[in-house]
Amino acid sequence: MSKPLNIGLVGYGFMGRTHSNAYRKVNNFFELEYHPVLKAVCARDQAKCQAFADTWGYESTETDWRKLVERKDIDAIDICTPNNLHKDIALAAAANGKMILCEKPLSMNTAEGEEMAAAVEKAGVANTVWYNYRRVPAVTLAKQIIDSGRLGKIFHYRANFLQDWTISADLPQGGAALWRLDAAVAGSGVTGDLLAHCIDTALWLNGGISTVNAMTETFIKERKHTLTGKVEKVSIDDACAFMCRFDNGSLGLFESTRYARGHKALYTLEINGENGSLKWDLHDLHRLQFFDYKDEGILRGWRSIHVSDSDHPYMKHWWVPGLQIGYEHTFVHQVADFLQSLSDKKPCSPTFRESIETQKVVDAVLGSAKSNLWSSV
């Protein structure tokens, strides 16, 4: 019989749903020593919290996360709150010896991230950050190909995360649904929300970034604030682009915006090496594009790999070749890997410590956009 791992979830928003679904499904598809138990969910609004608990089968509810992190029957705290609460919850959870699974971005800034990493290390508790796109099978396959050396020396890396959902000037900012538009709560706009994903994957696939040079823009300068009811200045970045240099000598180019009409959640990445290239995008996440220069000349072309075979990463746990999985499965994979890491007594990447690197790049990007200068990471 597998061992229970009692989960205490903080926050019941979009991420609360993706994580809950992952906890519930993981043992149906992966053979693991541990199985998550949905012990408690915590949110300030008791009625909504209870409704969420009922839907997902949480055994209990809390309205104060300080109580939750102190509960003896909880093994791991899952932080799905807005970004400005990550640090306090994580520090308290660590102090109470809880494992922590924290939504991305880790923190509001590097300094907070350092505190958080120090706390979990001091407490000696397992920790991970939900940069779920690493665990899209096609992205994991990209990692395998890159690590095999098959691409040779890398020259270029580029990534975009394009959305279009904030184009209307009538959209308000702030509050439970739209805290991502409120810099005081989110830290930043697309940089911390979307580019953080791109940066995490880039660091994982292509190594460290040394310097960045960024530009940001806020297209809609004022929006009504949901909480105050008043029209207030918008402080987040609606769009951000940056150039960078990686430690391996390659050049990087990143862009994110919520004003690219026609793109819903188009995270795309591409890497160009001496002997091959890879491309991927989130709108068809089950495919990886691969160009292999070592193919016979007249037969070279970008291969569209339908990543659904049993020997593709994670896929033996799902269906049969040709039958695609989707977005939610990336979270199941992360839970599976986290549980396996407990058995293996190894860290589950990215850890808090590792995710500070993403935070550093985010900070450098925002700094460069302000200073109009190249900024070291």
Could you tell me which residues come within 8 angstroms of residue 19 by beta carbon, excluding any fewer than 6 positions away?
9, 78, 80, 101, 130, 331, 335
CB of 314 to a second copy, least distance (A): 12
Q: According to CB under 8 A, which one of 13, 25, 60, 341 is a site residue for a second copy?
A: 25
* 96 DSSP β-pair partners: none
Q: For the segment 67-126, give every residue that binds a second copy (CB under 8 A).
A: none
Closest CA to 218 of 369, 334, 74, 11: 369
Does the footprint of a second copy cover residue 171 (CB under 8 A)? no
Does the footprint of a second copy cover residue 257 (CB under 8 A)? yes
The stretch among 112-120, 195-203, 315-323, 354-362 that binds a second copy (CB under 8 A) is 315-323
The stretch among 88-96, 117-125, 195-203, 243-251 that binds a second copy (CB under 8 A) is 243-251
Q: For the segment 267-286, give every residue that binds a second copy (CB under 8 A).
A: 272-277, 282-286
- Number of residues interacting with a second copy: please give it, by CB under 8 A: 93
> Measured between alpha carbons, how far is 181 from 224 in angstroms, rounded to an integer?
11
Tell me the three state secondary structure of residue 201.
Answer: helix
The stretch among 77-85, 86-94, 235-243, 339-347 that binds a second copy (CB under 8 A) is 235-243
Q: For the segment 188-227, give every residue that binds a second copy (CB under 8 A).
A: 213-215, 217, 219
Does the footprint of a second copy cover residue 265 (CB under 8 A)? yes
The stretch among 106-114, 185-193, 265-273, 336-344 that binds a second copy (CB under 8 A) is 265-273
Angle of helix 110-123 versus helix 352-371 axis, rounded to 10: 170
* CA triple 246-239-197, angle to 5 deg: 50
> Measured between alpha carbons, how far is 291 from 279 in angstroms, rounded to an integer?
9
Q: Mask of contacts with a second copy, 283-302, x by CB under 8 A?
A: xxxxxxxxxxx-x-xxxxxx
Alpha carbon distance, N-terminus to C-terminus of the chain: 47
Does the footprint of a second copy cover residue 359 (CB under 8 A)? no
Matching residue, tokens 């306090």 = 88
